[in-house]
Chains A and B, each alone.
Chain A
Amino acid sequence: MKGLAGFAFVIAGLAAAGGASAQTRTVRIATEGAYAPYNFTAAGGKLDGFEIDLANELCARMKAKCEIVQQDWDGIIPALQAGKYDAIMAGMNITAKRREVIEFSAPYVRETNGFGAAKDSPLAKLPDIARFDLGADEAATKKLVESMKPTLKGKTVGVQGSTIHANFMDKYFKDTLDIREYKTTEQHDLDLLAGRIDAIFASNAAERATFEKPDFKDYGLVGPKFVGDVFGVGVGVGMRKNEPELKKSFDDAIAAVKADGTLKTLSMKWFKADNVPQG
């Protein structure tokens, strides 16, 4: 079946390149399935989440048949390059570093990132800033980071490896914190609960989804909520370079769901907030 689908895609690609309009083509989209509410594996083993809903919406507008496959996060870009699938929708932020190797669509989500910790943890004393743009004012960023260091000194923080959150830690708090890298956010959540780490650092949406669970009732978001710089311009669809046709269809479809309010509806449904990127 996989072979057939790939064949259909090649045929469709050829037809599109030839100027003919392809009726249905198959686009294989990879997601991680462990990053609620973006994408996660529901109780029955079925993939669910914001990006699963969005992928189906986008595909309907692209007039394409979509196949969503699951792929571990740390191999998600290499497998795209190896042609295992055609696109990534896995809460992947558009960053300069990733842009060097893959192409991105226009962003479909932009949201804040920050620490999550026990409500009575010393980290709860960090300044609560609703939205701090790291890229806006270098001096202000430096001042804020320095002011946070005494509170964070010697604490252990969990992040998912190969993410913008890991990059943020390496760039700003490498010498201050003991940074532990996990394969998935679910694993650092478990270790936060077990008390092996003092805090986690992830996207606020993912943290909210975690802290909604009854086990985590004593935990919450703490400290400033960051955007900009290492966090890029938002989450987009990742694709191989040199596939302008596919990029254009995704860009058009994203513009369409943005214009007709579908994106906002999905954002409210999954994030309980309007995370639609502006502009």
Chain B
Amino acid sequence: MDFAFLGSTWLTLLSGLPLTLKLASGAVSCGFVLALAVAAMRVSGSRLLSGPAQAFVFAFRGTPLLVQVFLIYYGLGQFRPFLQEWGLWPFFRDAYWCALLALSLNTAAYSGEIIRGAIGSVPAGQIEAARACGMGRLTAARRIIGPIALRQALPAYSNEIISMVKATSLASIITLMEVTFIAQKLISQTFRAVEIFVCAGSIYLLVNVAITRAVWALEWWLSPHLRARPREPAALEAAHA
């Protein structure tokens, strides 16, 4: 084991981390907003709204993200005259925006389904109870359905966030110098694939450990009713016995 090499590799790879994080957080944020819209369309009960949402989910969940990145970057690149006419070219010219768009749309499709599932899992009795208490639809959605669905969705949604962090590595194929891109460049210079990929993997692992912990903390904070009650002090119990 050449620890000096591992150390310097790790530091070099870290220079790609800001871009990786920027892509992941950007995609998760944009994707979440889109996912809310997709979920709302899906549960709206109107065929006119739910149909397009279903088609969107079907297309983006059913095709590989790699293909989506390629199509958005290289595919749309071939329609430059049209895009220029519409004033969209500055957006599609930049590899960063193309990657962000592909990742956002992809995560929106998955997250939309997660949110729809979570909303669907809110027990009908609780919604009825809310209505019986005199809450309107919006109030019930805000005070009852929303919070319960959020708790339901969190474990699955944390999976999605973690997938997105890893999926940013696909941006390397469209020339973005994130962690995986730098790793491949280092390999081409040194041919030491194993050590370099171990370092790159460990960076993703650390990011994902942090995300997992953060989501756990959020889950804990959101579900006080599931926590065990604090124990009575042992001395007191002994005194009663």
A-to-B contact residues, CB < 8 Å: 74-75, 77-78, 81, 97, 101, 158, 161-162, 166, 180-183, 187, 190-191, 193-196
Contacts and interface: CB of A to CB of B under 8 A. Distances in A.
Interface stretch (B9-17, B181-189, B209-217): B181-189
Contact of B80 (A77, A101, A182, A195): A195
Contacts of A81: 191
A78 B175 contact: no
A195 B93 contact: yes
B52 interface: no
A70 B175 CA distance: 23
Given A181-B175, A182-B175, A183-B173, A191 B77 contact: yes
Given A78-B191, A101-B191, A180-B175, A190 B77 contact: yes
Contacts of B74: 187, 190-191, 194
Contact of B77 (A75, A162, A196): A196
Given A74-B188, A162-B188, A190 B78 contact: yes
15 contacts: A74-B188, A77-B191, A78-B193, A97-B189, A101-B191, A162-B188, A181-B175, A181-B181, A181-B185, A190-B74, A190-B78, A194-B74, A194-B80, A194-B93, A195-B80
Contact of B187 (A78, A182, A183): A78
Contacts of A190: 74, 77-78
B155 to A, nearest CB: 36
A99 B181 CA distance: 24
Given A162-B185, A183-B173, 17 more contacts: A74-B187, A75-B193, A77-B191, A78-B187, A81-B191, A97-B189, A161-B188, A162-B184, A162-B187, A162-B188, A166-B188, A190-B77, A191-B77, A194-B78, A195-B80, A196-B77, A196-B93
Q: Give the secondary structure class of A's interface.
A: helix
Range class of the B interface residue count:
10 to 19
A181 B178 CA distance: 12
Interface in B167-202: 173, 175, 181, 184-185, 187-189, 191, 193
A183 B187 CA distance: 14
B83 to A, nearest CB: 10
Contacts of A75: 193
Given A194-B77, A195-B93, A161 B191 contact: no
Contacts, number: 45
B22 to A, nearest CB: 18
Contacts of B193: 75, 78
A81 B191 CA distance: 10
A133 to B, nearest CB: 24
Nearest to B93: A196
A101 B188 CA distance: 11
4 tightest Cβ-Cβ pairs between the two chains A and B:
A162-B188, A194-B77, A78-B193, A180-B175
Contacts of B184: 74, 161-162
Nearest to A194: B77
A169 to B, nearest CB: 12
Interface string B97-117: 000000000000000000000
Nearest to A183: B173
A77 B77 CA distance: 32
Contacts of A183: 173
B176 to A, nearest CB: 9
B103 to A, nearest CB: 18
